[in-house]
Amino acid sequence: MDAVNLLDYDLDGLTAFCEQLGEKRFRATQLFRWIHQKGATDFEQMSDLAKSLRSKLKGIAAVTPLTVISEHVSADGTIKWLFDVGGGNAVESVYIPESDRGTLCISSQAGCAVGCRFCSTGHQGFSRNLTTGEIIAQLWYAEHTLRARLGTTDRIISNVVMMGMGEPLQNYSALVPALKAMLDDHGYGLSRRRVTVSTSGVVPMIERLKDDCPVALAVSLHAPNDPLRDELVPLNKKYPIDELLTACLDYLEAAPRDFITFEYCMLDGVNDSDEQAQELIALVKGRINCKFNLIPFNPFPQSGLYRSDMSRVQAFGRVLADAGIITTIRKTRGDDIDAACGQLAGEVQDRTNASNRLLRQAVTVKVASPKPGERNRQPQ
Catalytic positions are 92, 341
Alpha carbon distance 243, 346 (integer Å): 32
Alpha carbon distance 74, 54 (integer Å): 41
Q: Could you tell me the CA-to-CA distances from 285 to 143, 245, 282, 317, 325 in Å, in that order?
A: 39, 12, 6, 15, 8
330 three-class SS = coil
Whether 296 and 330 have beta carbons less than 8 Å apart is answered as yes
Whether 80 and 94 have beta carbons less than 8 Å apart is answered as yes
Alpha carbon distance 361, 111 (integer Å): 19
β-bridge mates for residue 67, sequence order: 84
β-bridge mates for residue 111, sequence order: 126
Alpha carbon distance 236, 115 (integer Å): 11
β-bridge mates for residue 110, sequence order: 128
Alpha carbon distance 290, 321 (integer Å): 12
* Other CB atoms within 10 A of residue 13 CB: 17
Alpha carbon distance 180, 214 (integer Å): 10
DSSP string, 331-361: PP-SGGGT-STT----B---SS-HHHHHHHS
Whether 110 and 85 have beta carbons less than 8 Å apart is answered as yes
DSSP string, 222-284: --SSHHHHHHH-GGGGTS-HHHHHHHHHHHTTT-SSSSEEEEEEEBTTTT-SHHHHHHHHHHH
